[in-house]
């Protein structure tokens, strides 16, 4: 029995790694945190609100990535728990939709503050930690299939995720000299709290019943259904592992065949 337990431990791909997952209190972020822990990592999730968060073996810190003070405080709190960071997942993100003629400055500023500036400056803060540690690291940014194409009602969101893909490429080239790989995941439509919010926005914008947009979208996925957080997490585990050591500046689609990169 002891030998079998040891074999499982030896097979963990992230054994001994210290990981910070932003936007990790729910949805895709929580799925990634669970997968990292199952693979042997110590994990801290960060979110705007972690009140009531309870996940065995996963610590949580409050972190608002739309403000530099929030990023600095969140990274410092994670360091206090982990005593270092080897893996960062930039998962925090927000969504909104509107026709071009109805896009507001408030919505634009909010989406770019979280999805782009939040990604960049969290990546910067953690990269500084990784450089000081001197042992390299893994940074994984969450883009979207929306970053590879335009959408009639999602212009600003699409633009933010296109920016994430571009930032990933530039940061990958800039940081690989320090042994830090930067890559991204572009999920398609994933069953999550976020997509429940998206569905509600489309219901209001297009006069649909709640759930109808999700049914329409699922029918259009070549795989025939929405993806799961666990399926995105599987890609994150790969990118965080030693198996991805030679992968730099890439964006991987996890979208059931929706977009051919």
Catalytic residue among 95, 157, 246, 252: 157
| Distance in angstroms (rounded) separating the CA atoms of residues 24 and 20 | 9
Measure the CA–CA gap between 98 and 204, rounded to whole angstroms.
11
DSSP letter string over 142-166? E--GGGGS--TT-HHHHHHHHHHHH
Residue in the structure block whose two tokens are 């947009």 = 213
DSSP tag of 243:
G
Identify the DSSP state of 227.
B
> How far lies 6's CA from each of 9, 12, 164, in Å?
5, 10, 39
Residue 95 designated active-site: no
Neighbours of 68 (CB within 10 A): 15
Task: Give dist(CA 96, CA 101) in Å, integer.
Answer: 14
Task: Tell me the C-alpha distance between 49 and 40, whole Å.
Answer: 26
Tracing tokens 């914008």 back to the chain, one arrives at: 205
Active site residues: 157
């Amino acid at each position: 029995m002891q030998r079998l337990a040891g074999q499982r431990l030896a097979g963990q791909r992230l054994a001994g790694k210290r990981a910070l997952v932003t936007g990790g209190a729910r949805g895709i972020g929580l799925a990634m945190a669970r997968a990292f822990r199952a693979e042997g990592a110590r994990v801290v999730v960060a979110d705007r609100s972690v009140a009531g968060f309870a996940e065995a073996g996963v610590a949580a810190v409050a972190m608002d990535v739309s403000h530099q003070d929030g990023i600095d405080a969140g990274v410092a709190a994670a360091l206090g728990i982990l005593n270092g960071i080897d893996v960062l997942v930039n998962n925090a993100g927000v969504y909104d939709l509107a026709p071009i003629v109805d896009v507001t400055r408030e919505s634009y500023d909010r989406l770019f503050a979280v999805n782009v500036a939040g990604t960049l400056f969290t990546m910067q803060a953690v990269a500084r930690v990784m450089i000081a540690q001197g042992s390299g690291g893994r940074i994984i940014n969450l883009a979207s299939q929306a970053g590879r194409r335009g959408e009639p009602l999602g212009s600003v969101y699409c633009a933010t995720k296109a920016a994430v893909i571009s930032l990933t490429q530039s940061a990958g080239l800039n940081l690989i000299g320090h042994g830090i790989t930067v890559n991204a995941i572009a999920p398609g439509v994933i069953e999550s709290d976020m997509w429940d919010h998206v569905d509600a926005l489309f219901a209001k914008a297009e006069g649909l019943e709640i759930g109808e947009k999700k049914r329409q979208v699922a029918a259009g996925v070549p795989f025939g259904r929405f993806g799961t957080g666990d399926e995105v997490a599987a890609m994150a585990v790969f990118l965080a592992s030693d198996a991805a050591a030679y992968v730099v500046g890439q964006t991987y689609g996890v979208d059931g065949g929706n977009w051919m990169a």
